[in-house]
Amino acid sequence: MDFTIATFLIQDGLTSGAIYALLGLALVLVFSVTRVIFIPQGEFVAYGAMTLSFLDNGKFPATATLLLVFGVLAFLLDLWDNRSRLNAPILLRNVGLNLALPGVIYTLALVLAPIQAGAFVKALLTIVIIAPMGLYIYRIAYKPLADASVLVLLIVSVGVHLAMMGLGLVFFGAEGLRARPLSTGMFSLGFLPVSAQSLWIYGTTIAIIIGLYLFFEKTLLGKALRATAVNRLGARLVGVRTQLTGVTAFVLAATVGAVSGILIGPITTIYYDTGFIIGLKGFVAAIIGGLASFPITAIAAIGVGIVESFTSFYASAFKEIIVFSLIIPVLIWLSITVTVHEDE
Amino acid sequence: MKMNRMASSRRLVPALVVLALLAALPQLPVPPFWITLLNNIGIASLVAIGLVLLTGVGGLTSFGQAAFCGFGAYTTAVLTTAYGFSPWMTLPLSLAVGALIALPLGLITVRLSGHFLPLGTLAWGIALYYLFGQIDLLGRHDGIAGIPPLSIGDYRFMSGSSIYYVIWTFVILTALAAQNLLDSRVGRAIRALRGGGQAPEAFGVNVARAKLTVFVLAGVTAALAGWLYAHMQRAINPTPFSISMGIEYLLMAVVGGAGYVWGAIFGASLVLVLKELLQRLLPDLIGTTANFEMIVFGALLVVILQFARDGLWPLVLRYFPTNSAHKVSPDASQLARRATPPGGTPLIRVEKARKTFGGLVAVNDVSFEVKAGEIVGLIGPNGAGKSTTFDLITGMNSLSGGRILFEGKPLAGRSPRDIARQGVARTFQHPKILPGMSVLENVALGAHQRGRGGVLQSILRLDRTEEAALLAEAMRQLERVGLAEFKDRPAGDLALGQVRILEIARALALDPVVLLLDEPAAGLRYGEKQELAALLKKLRGEGMSILLVEHDMSFVMELVDHIVVLDFGTRIAEGKPQEVRQNPAVIAAYLGGAA
């Protein structure tokens, strides 16, 4: 094998592997805290990339409208849920969280979209638009089912995925979009040219992993999330609000999705349905990690990225087949090593 | 039998009307478009029926059923176009391929917890779709054209309205087969999977095997659908076998009603008609043409699971009252029974049993014995290791040291199912009943290992003699414990005290030598405890041996012949109730005094 080609492929694999790692971590996070297998994770990636690309073209991102729609839905649901005990504080909180917050973000997008602000402002705006969606998706689709079985939650996830993908099609169209990189330019690392964008990807991935680590180790909310993951009922008994930890997990997942979209948008053309496949590759990594281990998931994601980049070079037609078949040996391994496996 | 027919006639009439309507439809001036839609509904129904068995009944899920359709379709396409097979000859081969693919895929996931199967099917559903598009033999992305139509003699089923009859014959036969299967020994085992976890193993159900059976069956019905699809379209390509179709099939099963065979047909009709309408209406509403129906489908899935988790079919059923009562025939043949060992024979011998979890010694070299015809109580404060000892005997947990003998043979290394088969039956501290199933069927589940009827016998109703014997045995046990009047009620309707007695009846249906009861009196009211004690005494009078773990001292003291007291995993006393009551170590352990 040509050494230069190999290093290129490895670099390419690391780049996509880093994205899969972020998504895999978000999936493990959501699953361990809420028992939701979050199929729509990939949609946040597509939304993020497409929002950024719209902003790049000075267009108003339709995701802001979508956020407003989600907010109104959540508002109505909250209103209905509290219909028997409607008082000022509850109403105020409901209006603030579900109407004012998306309203402010919508206005912000309206102001910032046409003026072509800097790349970082656009990236930040993208995150601000996408992240609260995690909150509303949880409120609308999952909160009423918080005590349902993993299986029911999984099927709900598929429903959310279909709806979000369809909405992506309505708002962004069937055309593929590509965002501008955060910063252009190439460096050369010895003989190896490295794009600035891939440095951003590596740096952001590492920063997010460290950030998550600090969050879980050092903050009370992070510890509450870990407690919920270990034992829901136990956490509730010692005063952890499992609704709050659930919401936090979803908002984190949406944020990570949006960041991944910002990172990957400039290097791949994103269609309304691209997010699903990208998210599923995060799943392959998460499954290898048993849907439980953060470090194994991250390492597995890098492996998935590298396998993918090598197969796309040597057997490009079989790329997806090989990547998605990776879980079969893992399932065999888990199946052999597992002792008695109790469902919930 | 006559009674049974009369009872079901109320459903028979609407069923015959629907059947007559189905048969007449193509002869009426119905636009061909609707016939095509009905054909598609029929084919989708077949896949959905498989999913109802898998998801609704068995509690497993697959997103990959479209890929199994693909295997059925490609098998017949290749064999008929390239090798000149006749379409009817490829039918068994298509089904066999479906089964052969499902078998290894099922094998690697049945031992894992529930969510790995759907995730696995999601991944290989995608992989297989891409694979279909890459193989030369399968025509790559162009697929295979020129597939011959089905034919009988010289008649060729070319038109939509002719193959309609073939499709719907298969749909009705498959639905009846599924219905027969559910109402049988194997069907009960599959329904027991929903109870979750390993509990059904303790009353003799092979959980992994039941999961595998239902997964393979779902694969076979999907392959059948694929075979029909290939001969209906007479040209195939990978698109209809993609993951999005797999998701759509699951939607049909969930919308219809995941636990109902006929709900699958209902769900398939609803989804496909809705899709048709949406594809016509939405573009006018939104102004562009694209697959916007997925937004509606996605929202529909979420809303149905939030508000009607059992799907929409139960809402339809409300208008057609059903009679699910099982007739128990009094002259059914009796199942073979085990000989009752003579009183005083040592049955269970626990010798220096030890269980450690890391550094914690949960059970510390405990020894005791259960003899035939006696009730032994295993008591002790919380955390004394009673339940762990119990799990060691029933094989739910493995020994770290020592040994446990049953009728002189060591139990170590045997599975809970195997131990149950030896004649050690148990109940659970948290009752593991199937709330949706009738009381009678719950008990019949206990007799699972005393029958041998398989899938094929059940589908063809060749198992009726044995089934009658199993139900009669269940009825006998219900009469024995005094729950006979509740036999057709859903088990979930019973009060806790009755549920515990139901569990005892189910354990008795195993024809056990020893009954192991895990805190049978926990949570019971005083009157219920009295009834329970009376029942256990009656069983002892009939020669049954019983080991029970219990907290309630007065309940134990007046009932048992022999007591073993555990504290911190160690046996601190043993003997007759009177002796143990006086024992200073026991008093100290219970009252916490520094004796």
Domain ranges of chain B: 18-317, 343-423+512-595, 437-507
Q: Which residue of chain B has the CA closest to A321?
A: B127
Tens digits of residue pLDDT in B102-120: 999 888 877 776 778 888 8
| Chain A residues with CB-CB distance to B120 below 8 A | 327-328, 331
> Within the 282-311 window of chain B, which residues sit less than 8 Å (CB to CB) from chain A?
286, 290-302, 305-306, 309
User: Count of CB atoms within 10 A of residue A32's CB?
Assistant: 18
Answer with the residue of higher pLDDT: B258 or A251. A251
* Structure confidence at residue B310 as a pLDDT band (50, 70, 90): confident
Structure token digits, residue B475 = 């009825």
Residue B517 in this model has a pLDDT that exceeds 60: yes
Residue B8 in this model has a pLDDT that exceeds 80: no
Tens digits of residue pLDDT in B26-55: 888 888 888 999 999 999 999 999 999 998
Q: Which residue out of A70, A331, A342 would a mutagenesis test of the B interface target, given it has the greatest number of B Cβ atoms within 10 Å?
A: A331
User: CA–CA distance from B67 to each of B58, B108, B301 (Å)?
Assistant: 20, 17, 21
- Shortest alpha-carbon distance between residue B580 and chain A (Å): 36
Q: How many whole angstroms separate alpha carbon A41 and alpha carbon A275?
A: 8
Exposed (0-12), middle (13-18) or buried (19+): which is B269, by Cβ within 10 Å?
buried
Q: Which pLDDT score, from 0 to 100, does residue B288 have?
A: 61
The string of DSSP letters for A103-117 reads: HHHHHHHHHHGGGT-
Q: Which pLDDT score, from 0 to 100, does residue B222 have?
A: 97
Helices (H), B380-415: 386-394
Tens digits of residue pLDDT in B229-241: 999 999 999 999 9
Q: Which pLDDT score, from 0 to 100, does residue B287 have?
A: 61
CB contact (8 A) between residue A174 and residue B118: no
Name the residue type at position A323.
Answer: V
Specify whether the CB–CB gap between B95 and B227 falls below 8 A.
yes
Q: How many whole angstroms separate alpha carbon B60 and alpha carbon B110?
A: 9
Q: Which residue out of B302, B396, B430, B432 would a mutagenesis test of the A interface target, given it has the greatest number of A Cβ atoms within 10 Å?
A: B302
Q: pTM for this structure?
A: 0.89
Structure token digits, residue A335 = 């199946």
Q: Which pLDDT score, from 0 to 100, does residue B2 have?
A: 40
Answer with the residue of higher pLDDT: B580 or A308. A308
Instruction: Say which of B107, B197, B247 has its CB closest to residue A342.
Output: B197
Q: Which pLDDT score, from 0 to 100, does residue B593 have?
A: 55
- Shortest alpha-carbon distance between residue A283 and chain B (Å): 8
CB contact (8 A) between residue A321 and residue B130: yes
The segments of chain A whose pLDDT lies below 50 read: 340-344
| Chain B residues with CB-CB distance to A160 below 8 A | 298, 302
3-state SS assignment for residue A189: strand
Average pLDDT (B386-397) is: 87
CB contact (8 A) between residue B292 and residue A166: yes
Q: How many whole angstroms separate alpha carbon B460 and alpha carbon B462?
A: 5
Structure token digits, residue A291 = 């849907």
CB contact (8 A) between residue B309 and residue A152: yes
Closest CA to B161 of B94, B232, B220: B232
Q: Which residue of chain A has the CA closest to B197?
A: A342
Q: Which residue of chain A has the CA closest to B301?
A: A159
Task: Give the helix/strand (H/E) hosting A260.
Answer: helix A242-264
Name the residue type at position B591.
Answer: L
Q: Using a CB cutoff of 8 Å and minimum separation of 24, what contacts does A330-338 make?
A: A330/A287, A330/A288, A331/A287, A331/B108, A331/B109, A331/B112, A331/B116, A331/B120, A332/B108, A334/A290, A334/B112, A334/B116, A335/B107, A335/B108, A335/B109, A335/B110, A335/B111, A335/B112, A338/B111, A338/B112
- Shortest alpha-carbon distance between residue A299 and chain B (Å): 19
Instruction: Say which of B63, B107, B292 has its CB closest to residue A170.
Output: B292
Specify whether the CB–CB gap between B115 and B57 falls below 8 A.
no
| Chain B residues with CB-CB distance to A342 below 8 A | 113, 196-198
Helices (H), A35-100: 41-56, 62-81, 88-95
CB contact (8 A) between residue A151 and residue B59: yes
Q: What are phi and psi of A213, to 5 degrees?
A: -60, -50
Q: How many whole angstroms separate alpha carbon B332 and alpha carbon B324?
A: 20
Q: Which pLDDT score, from 0 to 100, does residue A339 have?
A: 54
CB contact (8 A) between residue A158 and residue B198: no
CB contact (8 A) between residue A166 and residue B116: no
Q: Which pLDDT score, from 0 to 100, does residue B497 have?
A: 87
Q: What letter does residue A174 receive in the DSSP assignment?
A: S
Q: Which residue out of A340, A342, A344 would a mutagenesis test of the B interface target, given it has the greatest number of B Cβ atoms within 10 Å?
A: A340
First vs last C-alpha separation in chain B: 69
- Shortest alpha-carbon distance between residue A282 and chain B (Å): 11
CB contact (8 A) between residue A162 and residue B112: no
Specify whether the CB–CB gap between B268 and B44 falls below 8 A.
yes
Q: How many whole angstroms separate alpha carbon B14 and alpha carbon B259?
A: 21
Structure token digits, residue B533 = 């004690």
| Chain A residues with CB-CB distance to B249 below 8 A | none
Residues of chain B with pLDDT > 70, as a percent, come to 94
> Within the 61-100 window of chain B, which residues sit less than 8 Å (CB to CB) from chain A?
61, 63
Q: Which residue out of A28, A278, A324 would a mutagenesis test of the B interface target, given it has the greatest number of B Cβ atoms within 10 Å?
A: A324
Q: Which residue out of B60, B126, B241, B430 would a mutagenesis test of the A interface target, given it has the greatest number of A Cβ atoms within 10 Å?
A: B126
B109 touches chain A (CB under 8 A): yes
Closest CA to B505 of B561, B445, B552: B445
Q: Which pLDDT score, from 0 to 100, does residue A343 have?
A: 37
Q: What are phi and psi of B514, to 5 degrees?
A: -130, 140
CA A220 to chain centre: 23
A171 contact partners, CB below 8 Å, separation of at least 6? A62, A63, A65, A66
Q: Which residue of chain B has the CA closest to A160?
A: B298
Task: Give the helix/strand (H/E) hosting B585.
Answer: helix B584-591
- Shortest alpha-carbon distance between residue B206 and chain A (Å): 13
CB contact (8 A) between residue B247 and residue A317: no
Q: Which pLDDT score, from 0 to 100, does residue A341 have?
A: 40
Instruction: Say which of B110, B114, B127 has its CB closest to residue A325.
Output: B127
Q: Which pLDDT score, from 0 to 100, does residue A338 have?
A: 66
Q: Which residue out of B110, B116, B432 would a mutagenesis test of the A interface target, given it has the greatest number of A Cβ atoms within 10 Å?
A: B116
B122 touches chain A (CB under 8 A): yes
Residue with tokens 């779902």: B218
User: Helices A119-137 and A101-112: crossing angle, nearest 10°?
Assistant: 150
B274 touches chain A (CB under 8 A): no
CB contact (8 A) between residue A344 and residue B196: yes
> Within the 188-227 window of chain B, which residues sit less than 8 Å (CB to CB) from chain A?
196-198
Residue with tokens 């992989």: B127
Q: Which pLDDT score, from 0 to 100, does residue B6 have?
A: 43
Q: Which residue out of A151, A161, A165, A308 would a mutagenesis test of the B interface target, given it has the greatest number of B Cβ atoms within 10 Å?
A: A151
Q: What are phi and psi of B409, to 5 degrees?
A: -105, 135
CB contact (8 A) between residue A344 and residue B302: no
Q: Which pLDDT score, from 0 to 100, does residue B595 have?
A: 41
The CATH number fitting domain B343-423+512-595, selected from 3.40.50.300, 3.40.50.720, 3.30.930.10, 3.50.50.60:
3.40.50.300
Q: Which pLDDT score, from 0 to 100, does residue A160 have?
A: 95
Residue B472 in this model has a pLDDT that exceeds 80: yes
Answer with the residue of higher pLDDT: B190 or A230. B190
Helices (H), B32-184: 32-51, 65-82, 87-107, 116-132, 160-182
CB contact (8 A) between residue B61 and residue A155: yes
CB contact (8 A) between residue A334 and residue B250: no
Instruction: Say which of B116, B286, B305 has its CB closest to residue A331.
Output: B116
B111 touches chain A (CB under 8 A): yes
Q: Which pLDDT score, from 0 to 100, does residue A46 have?
A: 94
| Chain B residues with CB-CB distance to A149 below 8 A | 114
Residue B3 in this model has a pLDDT that exceeds 60: no
B18-317 shares its CATH topology with B343-423+512-595: no
Could you tell me which residues are beta bridge partners of residue A189? A192
Closest CA to A266 of A153, A185, A159: A185
Q: Which pLDDT score, from 0 to 100, does residue B178 have?
A: 95
Q: What is the pLDDT of chain B when averaged over all its residues?
A: 87
CB contact (8 A) between residue A324 and residue B127: yes
Closest CA to B96 of B77, B61, B71, B64: B71
CB contact (8 A) between residue B115 and residue A37: yes
* Dihedral, B444, B449, B450, B456 alpha carbons, nearest 10: 90
CB contact (8 A) between residue A327 and residue B119: yes
Instruction: Say which of B197, B295, B301 has its CB closest to residue A167.
Output: B295
Tens digits of residue pLDDT in B154-175: 888 888 889 999 999 999 999 9
Q: Which pLDDT score, from 0 to 100, does residue A93 have?
A: 87
User: CA–CA distance from A84 to each of A88, A142, B59, B307 (Å)?
Assistant: 13, 22, 36, 20
* Structure confidence at residue B324 as a pLDDT band (50, 70, 90): low
| Chain B residues with CB-CB distance to A162 below 8 A | 247, 294-295, 297-298, 301
Name the residue type at position B228.
Answer: L
Topology classification of domain B18-317? ABC transporter involved in vitamin B12 uptake, BtuC (1.10.3470)
| Chain B residues with CB-CB distance to A74 below 8 A | none
